[in-house]
Amino acid sequence: MSASRTPGFRRMSKTYKFSIAGIAAAGVSALAFSLVPGSAVAGTGTQAAPASGTALSATVDTAQATALQTSLAEQNPFAAAQLKAAAQAKAQAAANAKTAQVKAAAQAEAAAAQAAAQAAAVKGRALEQAASRTAARTPVYADNLDGWIREALDIMKKHNIPGTYHGIYKNVMRESSGNPRAINNWDINAANGVPSKGLLQVIKPTFDAYHVPGTVKDQYDPVANIVAACNYAADRYGSIDNVNSAY
């Protein structure tokens, strides 16, 4: 071809051709670097020559690592979901266990309260029955001289005060004729301001000194009067049975 130039074309100089080749090589090197990390020499624009017998192995290992990373990346959402589900199941199990524990404690408390109520009911019935038996055994005394003497004797027995029905009766008849409201307003005691009163005509100082707890603190009360008088007679004469006159 002649030296004449074709219009629109221009002969490339050596420097221009080298620049284009360098750009192409740099592109290939960058592509290789992105596919096989670490296999290119940074900043050179050209691929480093692998050591003999190792290039293929390095490429395979890198591909496997990339595939593994891709697989793990793809599996991560599923694994995260599994972990979340496991955490939720664990939390639900803990909540269920707590609920069961609270329920068991409430049931135990209710059972204990019911058992206590039943025990209290049983005890209450037992007390009622005992009270009923005691009431059945408690004698009913007639509201007369016979009943007063018998009640007084039962109280005296509890307090180890000696005396018999006959000993009490004979002294009552001599002192008051069986009148619990009898009062002596003419003897020396009356003159001293402490008249004798009641069935066995006991003066106030003697009644107070020998009054027995559990009886009414009243000289005119027939049972209290008998018991106090018998207590005094036991202390002074050994027994009301030994008294046959004013004492």
Please tell me whether residues 149 and 238 are part of one structural domain. yes
In this prediction, residue 7 carries a pLDDT of 44
Please tell me whether residues 228 and 178 are part of one structural domain. yes
Q: Using a cut of 0.85, tell me whether the model's pTM lies above it.
A: no
**Whole-number Å distance between alpha carbons of 109 and 13:** 103
Domain final residue, candidates 138, 153, 180: 138
pLDDT in tens, the chain (247 residues): 444 444 444 444 444 444 444 444 444 444 344 444 444 434 444 444 444 455 555 566 677 766 766 666 566 777 777 778 888 888 899 999 999 999 999 999 999 998 999 899 888 888 887 776 666 667 899 999 999 999 999 999 999 999 999 999 999 999 999 999 999 999 999 999 999 999 999 999 999 999 999 999 999 999 999 999 999 999 999 999 999 998 8
**Would residue 81 count as lying in a domain?**
no
**Would residue 56 count as lying in a domain?**
no
Structure tokens at 209: 């000194």
The sign one gets for the Cα dihedral 143, 146, 147, 153 is positive
**Would residue 64 count as lying in a domain?**
no
**Would residue 216 count as lying in a domain?**
yes
Strand locations in 174-244, DSSP E?
183-184, 196-197
Quote the domain boundaries for residue 95.
87-138
Tokens 């005094």 appear where? 232
Please tell me whether residues 149 and 230 are part of one structural domain. yes
Please tell me whether residues 182 and 237 are part of one structural domain. yes
Please tell me whether residues 154 and 237 are part of one structural domain. yes
Please tell me whether residues 114 and 25 are part of one structural domain. no
Q: How many domains does the chain have?
A: 3
In this prediction, residue 73 carries a pLDDT of 55
Give backbone dihedrals phi and psi of 158, rounded to 5 degrees, phi first: -65, -30
Please tell me whether residues 191 and 235 are part of one structural domain. yes
**Would residue 7 count as lying in a domain?**
no
Please tell me whether residues 165 and 192 are part of one structural domain. yes
Structure tokens at 225: 């009067």
Structure tokens at 144: 């007369």
**Would residue 76 count as lying in a domain?**
no
**Would residue 109 count as lying in a domain?**
yes
Please tell me whether residues 130 and 152 are part of one structural domain. no
In this prediction, residue 130 carries a pLDDT of 74
- Nearest to residue 215, comparing CAs of 151, 166, 128, 131? 151
Please tell me whether residues 220 and 157 are part of one structural domain. yes
Please tell me whether residues 111 and 182 are part of one structural domain. no
**Would residue 115 count as lying in a domain?**
yes
In this prediction, residue 72 carries a pLDDT of 60
Structure tokens at 1: 């071809």
Please tell me whether residues 124 and 206 are part of one structural domain. no
Domain final residue, candidates 117, 138, 159: 138
Amino acid at 231: N
